Chain A
Amino acid sequence: MLKLLTAFAIGLLFGIGILISGMANPAKVLNFFDLFGTWDPSLAFVMGGALTVSVIGYRLIFRMKKPLLAQSFSLLTRSDLDSRLIGGSAIFGIGWGISGICPGGLLPALSLGRIEPIYALVGVLVGIAGAKLLTKTLDRPAAAPSPNQIKGAGNA
């Protein structure tokens, strides 16, 4: 229960940060990208504020042996640059530039009482499901799942 409450509260804090920063607003995000038009540099300040806190905060946290409510820190330690990372990121940026939405900016907008974030969410979920299907297909010949890795019905 404590896990759920803290996760909700941290999500709420994240969402409030997005709302105050202006990044829930697609027009503001698109104007950041419009250097030669109606440029709005705000997004750089959002990143600056976030990174200042998280660089220092992470450094302090990683002195702890483990997180408060989990057994260990779940960190990805890969350092190789592959085509999926770069290609995927390129596709993400194109979608971001077309729509002005990214997953973090989208979620807080869902409770504004507007219909547009719902459309965007449907698109994003379809895209995520498509990518999972695609990677599953691409990875299959390399590593067939052993019987005990096959999960029950209900997987996306």
Chain B
Amino acid sequence: MTEFTPILSLLGGSLIGLAAVALMAVHGRIAGISGILGGLLQSPGSADWSWRAAFVAGMASSAMIVALASGWSPNYEVPVTTLMLLGGGVLVGLGATLGSGCTSGHGVCGISRFSARSIVATCTFMATGLVTVFLIRHVFGG
């Protein structure tokens, strides 16, 4: 069970949107996290490598910075096995790269521009996510 948090989720979502808008306004870039991560696997010499690294560093240190500044730490529960984290992670990286984006790139940035590709991609991964959880939790036990 996780608690339904409409206000915090709306607030957090607005900050995500604000960050996506800021990245476009300042750097002219789509805030697609899988793409930015993928860019880091290219050679570090490229011009885009350093802003991507800085962006990822900001994201990756956010929990620590928030904890140091306010003492607040979010709930974090992993109701799946390590194998599911690893295997699911591989599919996440593989699928998001083949499909040119994930929740942030397609779901937020792409839909904001009313991109047909992003709308189709978002509906697709939402649907397969729903089916996967249904199968794991209600068909194969869980």
Contact = CB atoms under 8 A, between A and B. Distances in A.
Interface of A: 3-28, 30-31, 33-38, 40-43, 45-55, 57-58, 61, 64, 66-76, 78-81, 84-114, 116, 119-132, 134-135, 151-152, 154-156
**Chief secondary structure at chain B's binding surface:** helix
Interface in B63-113: 63-66, 73-80, 82, 84-100, 102-104, 106-109, 111-113
A103 B60 contact: no
Nearest to B68: A111
A57 B17 contact: yes
B26 A67 contact: yes
Contacts of B25: 57, 61, 64, 67-68
Most chain A Cβ neighbours within 10 Å, of B13, B65, B75, B137: B13
Given A49-B10, A55-B112, A130-B93, A9 B85 contact: no
Given A96-B92, A102-B102, A103-B103, 19 more contacts: A13-B18, A15-B59, A22-B74, A26-B78, A33-B133, A36-B134, A49-B11, A53-B14, A70-B28, A84-B99, A86-B121, A97-B136, A100-B78, A104-B104, A108-B62, A116-B85, A130-B93, A151-B43, A152-B43
A89 B124 contact: yes
A97 B55 CA distance: 26
A12 B89 CA distance: 23
A24 B16 contact: no
Most chain B Cβ neighbours within 10 Å, of A66, A120, A152: A120
B123 to A, nearest CB: 8
Contacts of A156: 41-42
Given A94-B91, A120-B86, A16 B102 contact: no
